[in-house]
């Protein structure tokens, strides 16, 4: 394996392990356990398992290891631990580095389940969490304290697509000795340079772009070898959030086409955002790739693109948003994102329904807001579908 491979070559070849049969497609090692040649060999492996020596699938498995190696290479991280879902990755990353008495600073614009962990779970174990507007560096500065052990944020927030400056937040966090944990789902590994920008742990829901075809749940935690093997692995392997070998195989195949799909999706998102930004049915088009976006320059510097998701705010509130959703023919109403299929979501009544109206207003999740995760379909068809539905809704 070459250290100089470019991203698509890495995505197709990195981490591959072939059995004695020389199979072309990666093998699914659908096994929970491993057989030892002797009692002494079993004892030796439990004392210290070397590279590619496995004990139990909750600890590691060859197919899972292929996925971890490949995504670590794509992300530019030293190591990775694969998890059963994105939420297993978020809760595992935080739980493996925090203890009672620690303080955490988090951005307030978070995925609902992430908010649950930070608001409900961590507090029960004696971790104090302060929330800030992630785009306001003064608020980070004011909230960080000598006992702050970690900061947590989504680098691009859902569904309002605010971009948080990883480099600047990491500088502030590192100055007080805090670790930087970034949920980087909206950037995807394709538009991520988070490790170089200062993230200590990068977390993905692999359910999104990495699978990208709506089949399986999965997640991954990436970081330095030290953090992954000494903090994350012991926690994950004993608490049970491991990725299954079958899922790892689906995700490995997803990685092969990740760059092609995500770039096609982002290209579609850019074209649709530009085409509809002055549509009379819309009060706002939120997309980090539009020059009108408040963090356009930051998005370009941090990701080099606007990403695969845009949000549209309809002037006619929820009735207009529902008319728009119901008039679409290609785009599907669902709540996943990062899929090859274009997916539309009405956050106020689905993914963010649990929040109070006041919180939704503070986060900019208005009744007219619709999130659009762009797929890989032909952009002409998507434009016709979306503008047609906007005309019908307006």
Binding residues (CB under 6 A) for ligand PLP: these are: 85-87, 90, 111, 113-114, 154, 158, 183, 185, 205, 207-208, 217, 219
Q: Bridge partners of 204?
A: 220
Whichever of 90 and 320 has its CB closer to ligand PLP, that residue is 90
Whichever of 113 and 318 has its CB closer to ligand PLP, that residue is 113
Q: Give 308's contacts (C-beta < 8 A, 6+ positions apart).
A: 186, 188, 209, 262, 265, 266, 269, 337, 338, 373, 374
Q: How far is CA 173 from CA 136, 151, 178, 314, in A?
A: 14, 7, 5, 38
Cα-based angle 198, 186, 394 (whole degrees, multiple of 5): 145
Whichever of 164 and 393 has its CB closer to ligand PLP, that residue is 164
CB-based contact 297:290 (threshold 8 Å): no
- What's the rounded Cα separation, in Å, for the pair 110 and 116? 9
Closest contact distance (angstroms) between CB of 308 and ligand PLP is: 12
Closest contact distance (angstroms) between CB of 185 and ligand PLP is: 4
Residue nearest to ligand PLP (CB): 86
Phi, psi dihedrals of residue 168, rounded to the nearest 5°: -75, -40
Whichever of 87 and 303 has its CB closer to ligand PLP, that residue is 87
Q: How far is CA 224 from CA 76, 221, 228, 230, 294, in A?
A: 10, 10, 6, 10, 32
Whichever of 105 and 117 has its CB closer to ligand PLP, that residue is 117
Whichever of 203 and 390 has its CB closer to ligand PLP, that residue is 203
Whichever of 369 and 393 has its CB closer to ligand PLP, that residue is 369
Closest contact distance (angstroms) between CB of 202 and ligand PLP is: 12
Closest contact distance (angstroms) between CB of 2 and ligand PLP is: 31
Whichever of 121 and 392 has its CB closer to ligand PLP, that residue is 121
Closest contact distance (angstroms) between CB of 219 and ligand PLP is: 5
Closest contact distance (angstroms) between CB of 89 and ligand PLP is: 7
Indicate the DSSP class of residue 311: E
Nearest to 110 by CA among 99, 124, 122: 122
- What's the rounded Cα separation, in Å, for the pair 177 and 352? 33
CB-based contact 66:57 (threshold 8 Å): no
CB-based contact 183:155 (threshold 8 Å): yes
Write down how long the chain is: 394
Closest contact distance (angstroms) between CB of 97 and ligand PLP is: 17
Closest contact distance (angstroms) between CB of 297 and ligand PLP is: 23
Phi, psi dihedrals of residue 25, rounded to the nearest 5°: -80, 145
């Amino acid at each position: 394996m070459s250290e100089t491979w470019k991203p698509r070559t890495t995505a197709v070849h990195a981490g591959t392990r072939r059995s004695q049969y020389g199979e072309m497609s990666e093998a699914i090692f659908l096994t929970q356990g491993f057989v030892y040649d002797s009692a002494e060999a079993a004892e030796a492996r439990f004392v210290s398992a070397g590279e590619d020596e496995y004990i139990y699938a909750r600890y590691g498995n060859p197919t899972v290891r292929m996925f971890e190696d490949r995504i670590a290479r794509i992300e530019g991280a030293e190591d990775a631990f694969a998890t059963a879902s994105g939420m297993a990755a978020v809760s595992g990353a935080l739980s493996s580095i925090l203890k009672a008495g620690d303080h955490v600073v988090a951005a307030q614009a978070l995925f609902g389940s992430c908010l649950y962990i930070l608001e409900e779970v961590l507090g029960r174990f004696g971790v104090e969490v302060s929330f800030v507007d992630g785009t306001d560096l003064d608020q980070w500065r004011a909230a960080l304290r000598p006992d702050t052990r970690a900061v947590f944020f989504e680098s691009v927030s859902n569904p309002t697509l605010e971009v948080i400056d990883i480099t600047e937040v990491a500088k502030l966090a590192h100055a007080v000795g805090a670790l930087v944990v970034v949920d980087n789902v909206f950037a995807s590994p394709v538009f991520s340079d988070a490790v170089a920008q200062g993230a200590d742990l990068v977390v993905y829901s692999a359910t999104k772009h990495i699978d990208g075809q709506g089949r399986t749940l999965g997640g991954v935690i990436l970081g330095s070898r030290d953090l992954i093997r000494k903090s994350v692995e012991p926690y994950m392997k004993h608490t049970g959030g491991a990725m299954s070998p079958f899922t790892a195989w689906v995700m490995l195949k997803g990685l092969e086409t990740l760059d092609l799909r995500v770039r096609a999706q982002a290209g579609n998102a850019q074209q649709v955002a530009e085409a509809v930004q002055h549509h009379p049915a819309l009060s706002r088009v939120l997309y980090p790739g539009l020059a009108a976006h408040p963090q356009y320059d930051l998005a370009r510097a941090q990701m080099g693109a606007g990403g695969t998701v845009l949000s549209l705010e309809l002037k006619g509130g929820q009735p207009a948003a529902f008319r728009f959703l119901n008039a679409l023919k290609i785009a599907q109403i669902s709540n996943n994102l990062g899929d090859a299929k274009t997916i539309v979501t009405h956050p106020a009544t689905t993914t963010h329904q649990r929040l109070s109206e006041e919180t939704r207003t503070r986060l900019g999740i208005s009744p007219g807001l619709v999130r659009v995760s762009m797929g890989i379909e032909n952009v002409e068809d998507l434009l016709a579908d979306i503008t047609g539905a906007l005309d019908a809704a307006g």
